Amino acid sequence: MYNKTILENGLRIITERLPHSRLTSVGIWVDVGSRDEHDLNNGSAHFVEHMLFKGTRNRTAEQLARELDVLGGTANAFTARDTTCYYATVLDRHLPKLVELFADLFLNSRFDQEDIDKERQVILQEISMVEDTPDDQIHDLFAALLWGRHPLGNTVLGGREVVAAMDAKKLIDYVQKQYTPDRILIAAAGNVEHDAFVRLWQDAASLPAGSGDAPPARRPPQSLSPQRAIYSKPLEQVHVLLGTYGPPAASVDRFTFMLLNVLLGGNMSSRLFQELREKRGLAYSIYSYIVPFADCGYLSIYLGVDREVVNEALSLVVREVNRLVNEPVSAAELADAREFSKAGLYLAAENMESIMMRIARNEFVFGHYVTFEEVATAIDQVQPVDIGRLAGQIFANDLTMTALGPLQADEVDWALLGWKK
């Protein structure tokens, strides 16, 4: 059973009760991410996420960690380009304690300058880790190319210079401006009684009122002309990412977009996986994925290949993209993609954390609960003609491409992607 309450200050609390479970998963979501930053404070949302676990007026960082561990579940947080989330899954009997702990770290974090200086080094190491992991770094390089000067092109972690200059005043100012009640959503799934859960939060503390000024409205990105970039680096492989713009999260084409991705490179039977890995052995890792935001979206294709076969691999990728545009998908192939997608949907329904995250994302995107049956029905309604139509729309322009590894620009046959040398 799903329930929703909006408090007087605008904060939303949503729950999905599953009384057969002994677990409850809770997430504090903030509709804030790296896209709500600019060049001089990029990385703030991520830095704040770290600092909320570094001690409150009531507990040290070690006490917070120990008390969360004693609950016997999992506790973590993440920052994305459009949201920040603090979440945990515990036995249902520990729910009151979890709420008290979360309320403390969310409302009473100290942002002590000494702790900030220590955590800065941790974040700088995190940035170094990404830079040392090319199949991670390539995604940030691609986003910068695809979105240009728009904040979506910035990294979540932020630049080294900005992180190095971060201090308590800047972080506190960011929280006061961005962590306003109307942007905060508390979600819970599992053995949770809604009214009792709401009372727990009302009793925990007064939630923040913010600075009184509305945060700056998000600026929708513009579609740029296709770009290309080669980042030469002495690696064993060339890591390539190609992509283009797609529909936003609430689009009527969202399920068509999802199935198109499955067909292209979303699983082991997908066209790209079969052609490049299984039939030709050109790549160990080859896949496609989609990223839908509230006002935009994109599709990307990743492959890691030897330098000598870059052009051969690119020609096969372009061939499979053109097939989706020009040749109808068979009913049997689409039926398999539908079953794969619905299986993933129902498998996620067995995981309490996934359920909590699903209802939260639906609230942000649609403002209401979406049943599994609604999604399954919508998936079944997608037809081959829909795949061809959407493929023709999103692949109407040339693909943006970035590559990282032992490669020079003059080694790439840009004509394969519609580019002239």
Average pLDDT of the segment spanning 370-392: 96
How far apart are alpha carbons 250 and 258 in whole angstroms? 12
Residues 186 and 266 in one domain: no
Residues 6 and 154 in one domain: yes
pLDDT band at 419 (very low <50, low <70, confident <90, very high): low
Question: Please, which residues have CB within 8 angstroms of residue 327's CB and are 6 or more apart in sequence?
Answer: 388
Residues 232 and 200 in one domain: no
Q: Is residue 153 part of a domain?
A: yes
User: What share of the chain has pLDDT > 90, as a percent?
Assistant: 90
Average pLDDT of the segment spanning 366-373: 94
Residue 97 pLDDT more than 90? yes
Residues 17 and 90 in one domain: yes
pLDDT of 101-115, one tens digit each?
Answer: 999 999 999 999 999
Q: Is residue 19 part of a domain?
A: yes
Q: Is residue 211 part of a domain?
A: no
Question: Please, which residues have CB within 8 angstroms of residue 29's CB and are 6 or more apart in sequence?
Answer: 83, 84, 85, 184, 185, 186, 187, 360, 364
pLDDT band at 212 (very low <50, low <70, confident <90, very high): low
Q: Is residue 216 part of a domain?
A: no
Q: Is residue 305 part of a domain?
A: yes
Residues 176 and 275 in one domain: no
How far apart are alpha carbons 116 and 106 in whole angstroms? 16
Residues 173 and 30 in one domain: yes
Q: Is residue 222 part of a domain?
A: no
pLDDT band at 421 (very low <50, low <70, confident <90, very high): very low
pLDDT band at 331 (very low <50, low <70, confident <90, very high): very high
Residues 91 and 240 in one domain: no
How far apart are alpha carbons 190 and 58 in whole angstroms? 29
In terms of residue numbers, what domain contains 66? 2-204
Exposure string of 72-95, with b = 16+ CB inside 10 Å and e = fewer, is ebebebebbbbbbbbbbbbbeebb
User: What share of the chain has pLDDT > 70, as a percent?
Assistant: 96
pLDDT band at 213 (very low <50, low <70, confident <90, very high): low
3-state secondary structure of 35: helix
- Whether residue 49 lies in the annotated active site: yes
Q: For residue 189, what is the domain's CATH number?
A: 3.30.830.10
Q: Residue 316: its pLDDT value, please? A: 96
Residues 146 and 257 in one domain: no
Picking from 204, 220, 243, the residue at the C-terminal end of a domain is 204
Residues 251 and 302 in one domain: yes
Please give the structure tokens belonging to residue 46.
């991520």
Residues 413 and 295 in one domain: yes
When divided into structural domains, the chain yields a total of: 2
Q: Is residue 54 part of a domain?
A: yes
Q: Residue 73: its pLDDT value, please? A: 75
How far apart are alpha carbons 154 and 85 in whole angstroms? 19
Q: Residue 217: its pLDDT value, please? A: 79
Residues 190 and 304 in one domain: no
Q: Residue 420: its pLDDT value, please? A: 42
Q: Is residue 95 part of a domain?
A: yes
The pTM score is 0.94
Residues 181 and 297 in one domain: no
Q: Where are the beta strands (DSSP E) in 171-268?
A: 184-190, 228-232, 238-246
pLDDT of 306-319, one tens digit each?
Answer: 999 999 999 999 99
CA angle 172, 177, 179 (to 5 degrees): 85
Mean pLDDT is lowest, of 271-275, 348-352, 378-382, 384-388, for 348-352
Average pLDDT of the segment spanning 152-178: 95
The average confidence (pLDDT) of the chain is 94
DSSP 179-194: --GGGEEEEEEES--H
Average pLDDT of the segment spanning 116-138: 97
Choosing from 16, 49, 275, 363, the catalytic residue is 49
